[in-house]
Structure 1
């Protein structure tokens, strides 16, 4: 029987997604999401850190609609404001006056209707590039939940889950090896598992530490 990996981590269910794993690097943000919805909340974090996943968790609790910030100027703002709303990727509208104005009006109408508002984006709010002063001040005043880069425990669990999603069972020594060699992000974990799966199929070799070492060494040489 293949060896199975097990990680004793609690989880939060998400819309149509596998459980969101909780660890010290994201526990505060998860707790704030679970405590919502009420008023407004900002969720920040690096690429692939789980912002969209947690936004779906929040949206389920709030019975909220999810919209991308880049679609705001084409939306019916008064209609949107009749329910709680998630606006994803707010930094994407930096420098776009029309979309920032639409978000400003949506912010005010949602709260006036006693609904809840969640805004997501990479990095600190001060770096989002919001140029509309009234909007910038309102976003800055919102409570902020921040997702951090994963620690070893969480990164190991994510790698195990990504392998399991592909019905792959890596050798027990592979994940600890990968953690010491890879970039510390969810996006990097996802990409690495995809590349290992592709290499395994192409070379007709099992996913192992030997295959991983060959892949990473070749990628390092190509990057020079």
Structure 2
């Protein structure tokens, strides 16, 4: 189940009970802390997958709820950086290759 953080409501809590995983996209400070904490607890209790995406590390959010702060401090946070030009070049070349299209390196360099 995937949901934008600004669309989270009480109904999502009940929907999540029958799902295996929850992805909260684009976390922002407007989210209901009580509801976020409840969803997090449900994930732990029922051994479900729980993923939060955000433009900044979750540890930088100023949550007021002490239990939610504790959950945040114990979670694993991973940053994904922008790919290098070399990586993009390899991905583009692979996509062309998968489609059996021969492209010269100079053309891939031009695309980048």
State whether TM-score is above 0.5. yes
- Is residue 89 of structure 1 aligned with residue 22 of structure 2? no
User: Residue in 2 aligned with 1:60?
Assistant: none
Per-residue deviation, residues 139-184 of structure 1 (Å, max 9, x unmatched): 23112232122123322134557889xxx986531332454xxxxx
- What CA distance in whole angstroms lies between the structure 2 residues aligned with 1:157 and 1:74? 44
Counting matched residue pairs gives 107
Gaps of 5+ in 1: 1-64, 180-224
C-alpha RMSD of the superposition: 2.9
Higher relative contact order (CA 8 A, sep 6+): 1
4+ runs of 1 displaced by more than 4 Å?
A: 158-164, 168-171
Q: Does 1:115 align with 2:51?
A: no
Query: What is the match of residue 187 of structure 1?
Result: none
Cα gap change, 1:109 to 1:157, in 2 (>3 Å):
same
Return the alpha-carbon distance in structure 1 between the equivalents of residues 44 and 62 of structure 2. Answer: 20
- In structure 1, the partner of 2:7 is 71
Name the structure 2 match of 1:200.
Answer: none
| Corresponding residue number in structure 1 for 2:109 | 176
**1:37-70 superposed Cα distances (whole Å, 9 cap, x missing partner):** xxxxxxxxxxxxxxxxxxxxxxxxxxxx112211
Describe the SS at the equivalent of 1:131: coil
TM-score (norm 1): 0.39
Give TM-score, length-normalised by structure 2. Answer: 0.70
Residue 143 (structure 1) aligns with: 76
